[in-house]
Amino acid sequence: MSEAKQYKYIGQRTIRPDGFDKVTGRANYGADLSLPGMIWGKILRSPHAHALITKLDTSKAEAHPDVLAIARFEDFPTVNAAAFAEGRQDKGLVDLASNILADKKVLYHGHALVAVAARTEAAAAQALQLIEVEYEVLPPVMSIDQAISADAAILHEDMFTQGLAETPSAASNIASRMELKKGDVDAGFAQADVIVEREFSTPTVHQGYIEPHATTVRFDENGTSTIWCPTQGHFDVRASTARLLGMELGQIKVTASEIGGGFGGKTTVYLEPVALILSRKAGRPVKMVMTREEVFRASGPASASQSRIKIGAKKDGTLVAMQASLYYEAGAFKGSPMGPGCMTVFTPYDVENMWVEGFDVVVNKAKVAAYRAPGAPQAEFAAEMVMNELAERLAMDPIDFRLQNAAKEGTQTLYGPKLKAVGLVECLQAAKTSKQYQTALAEGEGRGVAAGFWFNIGGQSSVIINMNPDGTGTILEGSPDIGGSRASMQMMAAEELGIPLDRLNPIVTDTEHVAYNQTTGGSRTTFATGMAVVEACQDIVAQLKSRAAAMWNVTSEQVDWQDGSAINLAGEDKMTLAEVCAIAEKTGGQISGRGNINARGAGPSFAVHLCDVQVDRDTGKTDVVRYTAIQDAGKAIHPGYVEGQYQGGAAQGIGWALNEEYVYDQNGIMENAGFLDYRIPLASDLPSIDTIIVEVPNSFHPYGVRGVGETGIVPPLAAVGSAVSNAIGLPITALPCSPPRVLKLLQDAGQ
């Protein structure tokens, strides 16, 4: 890829094409759709964190004059014990169904039991009161320590820890254990002059998207269904719903509405299959919208974690061994991001000896969902805190210490591949020379530095571009636009075709108009769907050349494509894209381009964050006074939205580090299920977050793109944690550093 390449649109700060609808209120989000004849669905949820359902009688609710349908676990036709016993069903599907509507047991406070559809929202709410449920309450298991203790109540009697040398005979709350190693850590630690070993914990947090989950579903008499919902992946909503309800993919059309934030939390289904059951039974379209309280209690959260990290270094700063034990809460059903946690924890460092083990632990909390670089923030928080303590023990600058050991091209990762060209060293150098790092701390301030890594993924994307006879065109893509990706697609297509931006209209279509697209997640969209857009453009250009060749009576090989025009290399002729489109009728019909790909070569992304804080010693309150997020984008297609991803990730990470946590009472009931008490950062809580975009191109992408969405949430936990530790002169081992916790640390230390 040529460094000198000058682009017309790539790298510019263009106006996003969907922006007009979003600043005027016209854009339709999940709860904005209403249909004729529509009725409302509501869900009865468990008042206990852990209980057996001994009686569930819906007869009185069914008799309510406005109630038109009721849905229960038994309405999932493909999910039943017989099918599971015969090996026809996978446990993942059973878990998914049991999370959406509980089977015989409720596993967290807020766990859905029964859904009711009624003529009005108020009637549906009334009908829920008429449902009679009796429970045998069981002791709630609310932490990793409780879950793995010998006398723990067991959530799933059929869960036996996987990944051990021998599968145990007793059921356990540990769903699985994994281990990764390279070299010999014992030999490595034997060479160390300094070893730091510490234990850390992070709380349950929520993605905190402002738009609650919502859906409107219409089941038609011919057996087909239409689902509208805000989701990061409508093709996967279709797949999950079809599997749960025994339908074919072709029988379900899913339209992704605009999505009001997701951060990984809108990559699964909660309401959609339930609304479909209700609509089928009632013969009416059904709308369901979660309350904010339901969002907190029954969707999302990200895993709480416990970890033990041990890192050894020589006196000269060379790392010799890194070791980690990582425990992740999965919530009520197995499937925490333990795997990516283990794989990312030490990836910023090129060290010979590493050993990591991970545990996936079930507890009586809502089943966790992905949250921006799932698993990495918890693990890398712990690792980076120890790295900073080591730097201090070695009396080294924390950036120099990292530079000395930084992963680079050729580094053998713990999880498998050798790294290709990556930008960690460049990010560290940019951090070192940044304005913030050059600014001296004021009295009482503390500073923290942390690095972060995330893989990024590629995967399947399918794009069609239809050209009009006047040379305008429509880009049909199937990747929900969660933060401005339509702008990137428009820019890449305009660059490829050599036509003005506003001649191309990018549209996120429903599941009928393009082939399968993987969910918007893993920071894949601008990379993979962008590649599909480029491929579709190349397809168009090839056709334009052949059409021009036909007009000129030359071969396609004799036609070149330059700056939006076909050039006859055998003569003087030139035709613009619009001119070729205008003669499409005469040269074989209209022109469409297609790019259906399974993108390989996603570029891993590193970031380095700097955080300066001021801690009020009387109240324990921490204010972030300066913050800089530095990250390798490969190539920033739209720098404004790339910076936005860095800033957004930093803000979420700051919230995670300073304030956010689920607070439970002794019965396992979340006490702060609202934005007043689960406080995400406000405008007045944050300083301006500075950004530095580092660009080390990813050679697998035509413009050098790496994903940028997720890495930015990885470093803040340790950057903030270390800054607080630096400010108060005490170790930080548990998040959040909320005022009461910091005050207690200060008091315990006699300060």
Partner 1 sequence: MKTHVTTRINDETVEFLCEPQQTLLHVLRNELGLTGTKEGCGSGDCGACSVTVNDRLVCSCLVLAVEADGAKIGTIEGVASSDKLHVIQEKYLEHAALQCGICTPGLIVSTKALLEENPNPTEAEARYFLAGNLCRCTGYDKIIKAVMDSAKSLNQGA
Q: Does 35 bind partner 1 (CB under 8 A)?
A: no
Of 85, 682, 748, 750, the one binding partner 1 (CB under 8 A) is 682
Q: In 185-285, where do the E strands start and end?
A: 194-202, 214-219, 225-229, 252-256
Strand order in the sheet with 51-57: 105-106, 51-57, 132-137
Q: For residue 655, with 0-12 CB atoms within 10 Å meaning exposed, 13-18 middle and 19 or more buried, which class applies?
A: buried
CB of 687 to partner 1, least distance (A): 9
Distance in Å, CB of 134 to partner 1, minimum: 30
Q: Which stretch binds partner 1 (CB under 8 A): 511-519, 529-537, 556-564, 669-677?
A: 669-677
As measured in angstroms, the least distance from the Cβ of 568 to partner 1 is 41
Q: Which two tokens stand for residue 272?
A: 């959609």
Residue 663 phi, psi dihedral angles, 5° rounding: -105, 125
Looking at the Cβ atoms of 15 and 749, the one nearer to partner 1 is: 15
Nearer to partner 1, 173 or 529 (CB): 529
Cβ closest to partner 1, residue 375 vs residue 484: 484
- Residue type present at position 232: Q
Euclidean distance between CA atoms 41 and 38, whole angstroms: 10
The Cα 352–Cα 359 span in angstroms is: 24
CA 675 to chain centre: 21
- Among the candidate windows 2-10, 604-612, 646-654, 722-730, which touches partner 1 by CB under 8 A? 646-654
Alpha-carbon distance of 587 to 546, in angstroms, equals 9
3-state secondary structure (DSSP) of residue 567: strand
For the chain, report the end-to-end CA distance as a whole number of angstroms. Answer: 57
Kindly state the smallest distance separating residue 377's Cβ from partner 1, in Å.
16
Report if residue 228 touches partner 1, rule: CB under 8 A: no
Question: Whose Cβ is closer to partner 1: residue 327's or residue 678's?
Answer: 678
- Toward partner 1, which CB reaches closer, 137 or 210? 210
Shortest Cβ 639–partner 1 spacing (Å): 9
Residue type, 543: Q
Structure tokens at 323: 């070791």
Taking the least distance from each CB to partner 1, the nearer of 473 and 681 is 681
Among 1, 5, 15, 168, binds partner 1 (CB under 8 A): 15
638 makes contact with partner 1 (CB under 8 A): yes
From the list 262, 398, 478, 603, which residue makes contact with partner 1 (rule: CB under 8 A)? Answer: 262
Each residue 698-727 as x (binds partner 1 by CB under 8 A) or -, in order, gives ------------------------------
Member of 5, 26, 435, 586 binding partner 1 (CB under 8 A): 26
- 275-314 residues in contact with partner 1 (CB under 8 A) are 289, 291-292
Name the segment binding partner 1 (CB under 8 A); options: 12-20, 79-87, 128-136, 144-152: 12-20
Does 478 contact partner 1 by CB under 8 A? no
Options 194-202, 425-433, 574-582, 634-642: segment touching partner 1 (CB under 8 A): 634-642
The reply on whether position 260 binds partner 1 by CB under 8 A is yes
User: In the structure encoding, which two tokens stand for residue 262, read together?
Assistant: 């997701």
**Minimum CB separation from partner 1 for residue 261, in Å?**
5
- Asked if residues 461 and 597 have their Cβ atoms less than 8 Å apart, the reply is yes
Q: How far is the CB of 353 from partner 1 (least distance, A)?
A: 38
Residue 291 · residue 273 · CB < 8 Å: no
- Residue 84, beta-bridge partner list: none
**Site of tokens 């790294």:** 419
Q: How far apart are CA 685 and CA 656, in angstroms?
A: 13
Among 223, 674, 729, 740, binds partner 1 (CB under 8 A): 674
Among 73, 209, 346, 561, binds partner 1 (CB under 8 A): 209
Cα separations in angstroms, 622 against 363, 482, 625, 658: 31, 31, 9, 7
With H, G, I as helix, E, B as strand and everything else as coil, classify residue 693.
strand
Mode of pairing for the β-strands spanning 622-632 and 605-615: antiparallel
For partner 1, which residue of 25, 65, 416, 589 counts as binding (CB under 8 A)?
25
**584 contacts partner 1 (rule: CB under 8 A):** no
Report cis status (omega within 30 of 0) of the bond before 340: no
Q: Of 131, 139, 73, 143, whose CA–CA distance to 107 is shortest?
A: 139
The reply to whether 647 sits near partner 1 by the rule CB under 8 A is yes
CA angle 689, 690, 694 (to 5 degrees): 130
Taking the least distance from each CB to partner 1, the nearer of 19 and 739 is 19
Q: Which is nearer to partner 1, 165 or 676 (CB)?
A: 676
Question: Which of 584, 686, 734, 746 touches partner 1 (CB under 8 A)?
Answer: 686
Size of the site for partner 1 (CB under 8 A): 58
The verdict on 510 binding partner 1 (CB under 8 A) reads: no
Q: DSSP assignment of 640-691, as one string?
A: HHHHHHHHHHHHHHHHHHHT----B-TTS-BS--STTTS-PPPGGG---EEE
In whole angstroms, how close is the CB of 717 to partner 1 at the nearest point? Answer: 15
Among 648, 668, 697, 721, binds partner 1 (CB under 8 A): 648
Q: At what angle do helices 639-658 and 716-728 cross, to 10 degrees?
A: 50
- Which residues on adjacent β-strands are paired with residue 613? 446, 624
- Contacts to partner 1 by CB under 8 A: 13, 15-16, 18-20, 22-29, 31-32, 34, 207-212, 258-263, 289, 291-292, 482-484, 638, 640-641, 643-645, 647-648, 650-652, 674-676, 680-686, 688-689
